[in-house]
Structure 1
Amino acid sequence: MTSYKPTEFEEVTIATKPIFQGQVISLQVDTVRLPNGQTASREIVRHPGAVCVLAVIDGKLLVVDQYRKPLNKMQLEIPAGKLEPGEQPELTARRELEEETGYRCGSLKHIHSFYTSPGFADELLHLYWAEDLQPGTASPDEDEFLQVELITLEEAKTCIRQQRISDAKTITAIYAWQLYQLTGEW
């Protein structure tokens, strides 16, 4: 592995131009000084962060089927949602799990946090494992239309091949679940 100083490749921001401020994201264009002294533009999406929940009931993965407008198709995904201002990720995970699926969990274990698209966005996604699930009543947001389903690991892998599951968070969760089944460790 090549060693380098942490600041050797750093891009220093010279100017920031706000482009758009929405309810979920904002967009800005930064002018940066490159390590070679040249300047470049960087389009950056700012996001408050989000959570996703890996929940298994009787050996089946809890997923929601919903229409995703950017893709113009239905997608199976694990329950997920964005952090509200000042909200801790674990609280968001509990809230989103119950809102989207109706299930409450007795405990949550943080598996990992990862950036979704670091080339242009700062969204940090926190993946949790939910245990001790109890059914309840879902209460999705007024603009959220979901169908809750349970699928086996083999069905999940088939859905990946068919691109019914094609988002990174759900694919990551499925392979984490498979690894957990094989090793007993996260």
Structure 2
Amino acid sequence: MKFFEKTIASKEIYNGRILNLKVDEVELPDGGTSFRELVDHKQGVGILPVRGNRIIFVRQFRKAIEKVILEIPAGLVEAGEDPKEAAVRELQEEIGLKPLDLHFLGEMWPSPGFTNEVTTLFMASQFVIEPRKQDDDEFIEIVEMPIRTVRALYLKGKFSDAKTACVLGRFFSLM
């Protein structure tokens, strides 16, 4: 069986700064048709900052889930920007550290059932301190934890943010 859906028609519903919404009519592998509600989302980056035997996280409120969560520093890749450049900028903005090394840990799709959003994951372990230039609409708390504590929390399923759980899994598999 071929696993492909041919787009027959596409209707844009919303065009925003971070994402666009559309509905595609598709031809299914068996010849039938269906509709797909899709989110075209800007590319993101997530960075695991490891300083000595500690990992640095940010705690912030996420309106979509109405919760405060602990996650890795992350952000969007701007037009024309390389993901590594975005990672450096985001770390400096969110935790006041400029990475001297960035190690690529792969990419992940948070929810490919409805969005093309891709997050490029990095790890950094060497830094220089630079003053934070936090975004005006961003309110975050910096949280540092020993790696052994993070691992215990990870194994108990305490990190529910997809990019954070994914990068921690990759990091712990390298240990």
2:167 matches 1:168: no
Which residue number corresponds to residue 51 of structure 1? 45
Match of 1:137 among 131, 135, 139: 131
The letter for the 1-side match of 2:35 is S
Gap runs ≥5 in structure 1 = 182-186
Offset of 1:153 from its aligned partner?
A: 2.9
User: For this pair of structures, how many residues does the alignment match?
Assistant: 174
Match of 1:123 among 117, 120, 138: 117
The letter for the 1-side match of 2:80 is G
Displaced runs of 4 or more, over 3 A: 157-163
Equivalent residues of 1:153, 1:178 under 8 A apart: no
2:4 matches 1:10: yes
Question: RMSD value over aligned CA atoms?
Answer: 1.5
Gap runs ≥5 in structure 2 = none
Give the distance between the partners of 1:108 and 1:35, measured in 2 at CA.
41
> What is the SS of the residue equivalent to 2:23?
strand
Q: TM-score, normalized by length of structure 1?
A: 0.88
Equivalent residues of 2:57, 2:144 under 8 A apart: yes
Which residue number corresponds to residue 184 of structure 1? none
Give the distance between the partners of 1:159 and 1:139, measured in 2 at CA.
30
Give the distance between the partners of 1:22 and 1:113, measured in 2 at CA.
24
2:95 matches 1:101: yes
Determine what percentage of the aligned residue pairs are the same residue.
36
Q: TM-score, normalized by length of structure 2?
A: 0.93
> What is the SS of the residue equivalent to 2:78?
coil
Which residue number corresponds to residue 58 of structure 2? 64
> What is the SS of the residue equivalent to 1:54?
strand
Q: Which sits farther off after the overlay, 170-179 or 114-123? A: 170-179
